[in-house]
């Protein structure tokens, strides 16, 4: 979410920046809302102030009556009583007006919030301008793609004899699910373990185990909601959760409007990334300055509906409904976030280097960045069978965009609360790393060489093959 003050004070500049991201900000609506809000809110608060003053006066008047009666000042006591009654009437009238202005104010607030929640972050000045993927800027290229003296296979063909089984995955669940069995399953596990160990032992992240199901507030905090609900899997309750309360009301024969007693619905979703859980650990928190930076990592499955990507990467395990990822999250002082961004890219790169995979680092252009990011680097790994680089990690600085939604703050040097900056990045996507290993390290005989760094996680194996 953007800073509302910034929108008020510098609307034109904000709108121009948003335009570079292909976002059209509804300036007229915003301005109209702001204008009406100001009028209604001022009026509303004036009336409330009046109500509070009168109510206090009533309290004082009534409080005096006992004392006045005791000292037999009955006239004064009666006067107080009448005065109080008069004030009560007046407050009742004010209350009727408040009810009206309050309702209108709520409408305005709701619309403004919705408007604001759907506006993406502003790109950092260093982000290249551009419309699409094609305008991303390559920052560096590391490692040289291997030349093969045999006909190479893609990961599905390399993987099949090693236990990569899409047919069974489809039988169990449907398209975009995979069953792994035997050597490939072990390799997959080894990769995740290696990544997690590296991020904790070498790069100072704290290992976390997090829920895979989160509530809607968490997704609102990191920006997946309300705009991208179609990308998520919603979790429905199996049982009688909502029936119970409705049944209760039925039994009680209550005259109450059932709407008033509507059961709070549990809005649960599967996490699309553990960025959600790790970042939301600081939601509604004021963290002490000394605890910064907070560096968290977790290995979790990620669930994505992939709505809107029909026909894209349908073959193989590049794009799945369920995939594993080791995620890095940093929660930092605002002055340190760009330093942290570069550092995190390095942490992800370290994995690729250790696994002897050629890759390049790309700075995403304004038009290609994700909703919450102020700046994003993608790491793209070389896939020989596709003869191209494919995204395997994405590292973003969200600045205060998520923190503002999360109300995630720290106490600064002056003791004032201030919004944190949040960053997240994959370190790495496990499934796609598996793909890269299979394709880059395949051998003519159908076996796959295990990179030296990974061997301790594979019981010392130097290669895996169908033979075992």
Partner RNA sequence: GGAAGCGUGGCCGAGUGGUUGAAGGCAACAGUCUUGAAAACUGUCAAGGGUUUACGCCCUUCGUGAGUUCGAAUCUCACCGCUUCCGCCA
In the complex, minimum distance from the CB of residue 285 to RNA, in angstroms, rounded to a whole number: 8
41 or 193: whose CB is closer to RNA? 41
46 or 339: whose CB is closer to RNA? 46
Pairing of strands 388-397, 375-383: antiparallel
149 or 260: whose CB is closer to RNA? 260
Residue 328 vs residues 166, 198, 267, 297: alpha-carbon distances, Å: 29, 11, 26, 5
In the complex, minimum distance from the CB of residue 412 to RNA, in angstroms, rounded to a whole number: 10
Rounded Cα distance between 80 and 86, Å, is 10
Rounded Cα distance between 246 and 256, Å, is 12
Looking at the chain, the number of H-run helices and the number of E-run strands are: 13, 18
Those residues with Cβ within 8 angstroms of residue 390's Cβ, 6 or more apart along the chain or in another chain: 318, 380, 381, 383, 432
H/E stretch holding 161: none
Rounded Cα distance between 373 and 401, Å, is 8
> Which tokens sit at 446?
């159908």
Q: What end-to-end distance do the CA atoms of the chain give, in Å?
A: 52
234 or 241: whose CB is closer to RNA? 241
46 or 138: whose CB is closer to RNA? 46
Interacting residues toward RNA by CB under 7 A: 4-5, 38, 41-42, 45-46, 48-49, 51-56, 58-60, 62-63, 87-88, 91-92, 95, 239-241, 244-245, 248, 260-261, 263-264, 266, 286, 409, 415-417
115 or 263: whose CB is closer to RNA? 263
> Which tokens sit at 124?
């950092």
> Which tokens sit at 201?
């032992």
> Which tokens sit at 368?
């290609």
144 or 257: whose CB is closer to RNA? 257
In the complex, minimum distance from the CB of residue 364 to RNA, in angstroms, rounded to a whole number: 30
């Amino acid at each position: 979410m953007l800073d509302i003050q910034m929108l008020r004070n510098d609307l034109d500049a904000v709108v121009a920046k948003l335009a570079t991201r292909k976002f059209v900000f509804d300036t007229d609506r915003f301005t109209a809302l702001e204008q009406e809000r100001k009028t209604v809110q001022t009026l509303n608060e004036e009336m409330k102030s009046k109500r509070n003053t009168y109510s206090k006066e009533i309290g004082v008047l009534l409080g005096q009556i006992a004392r006045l009666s005791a000292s037999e000042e009955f006239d004064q006591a009666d006067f107080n009583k009448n005065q109080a009654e008069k004030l009560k009437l007046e407050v009742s009238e004010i209350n009727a007006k408040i009810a009206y202005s309050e309702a209108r104010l709520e409408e305005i607030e709701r619309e403004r919030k919705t408007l604001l929640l759907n506006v993406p972050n502003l790109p950092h000045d260093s982000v290249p301008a551009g419309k699409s993927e094609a305008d991303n800027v390559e920052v560096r290229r590391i490692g040289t793609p291997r030349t093969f003296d045999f006909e190479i296979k893609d990961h599905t063909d390399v993987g099949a004899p090693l236990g990569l089984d899409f047919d069974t995955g489809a039988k169990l669940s449907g398209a975009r699910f995979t069953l792994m069995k035997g050597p490939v399953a072990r390799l997959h596990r080894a990769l995740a373990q290696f990544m997690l160990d590296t991020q904790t032992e070498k790069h100072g992240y704290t290992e976390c185990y997090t829920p895979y199901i989160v509530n809607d507030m968490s997704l609102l905090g990191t920006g997946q909601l309300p705009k991208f609900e179609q990308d998520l899997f919603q979790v429905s309750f199996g049982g009688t959760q909502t029936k119970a309360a409705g049944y209760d009301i039925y039994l009680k024969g209550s005259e109450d409007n059932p709407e008033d007693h509507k059961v709070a619905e549990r809005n649960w979703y599967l996490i699309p990334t553990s960025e959600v859980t790790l970042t939301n650990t600081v939601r509604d928190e004021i963290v002490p300055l000394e605890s910064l930076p907070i560096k968290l990592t977790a290995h979790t499955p990620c669930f994505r509906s992939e709505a809107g990507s029909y026909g894209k990467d349908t073959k193989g395990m590049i794009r799945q409904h369920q995939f594993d990822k080791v995620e890095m999250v940093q929660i930092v002082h605002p002055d340190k976030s760009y330093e942290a961004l570069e550092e995190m890219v390095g942490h992800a790169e370290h994995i690729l280097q250790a696994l002897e995979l050629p890759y390049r680092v790309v700075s995403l252009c304004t038009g290609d960045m994700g909703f919450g990011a102020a700046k994003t680097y993608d790491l793209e790994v070389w896939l020989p069978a596709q003869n191209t680089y494919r995204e395997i990690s994405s590292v973003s600085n969200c600045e205060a965009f998520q923190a503002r939604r999360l109300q995630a703050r720290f106490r600064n040097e002056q003791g004032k609360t201030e919004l944190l900056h949040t960053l997240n990045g994959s370190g790495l996507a496990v499934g796609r790393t598996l793909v890269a290993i299979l394709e880059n390290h395949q051998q003519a005989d159908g076996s796959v060489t295990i990179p030296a760094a990974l061997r301790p996680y594979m019981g010392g194996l130097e290669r895996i093959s169908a033979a075992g």
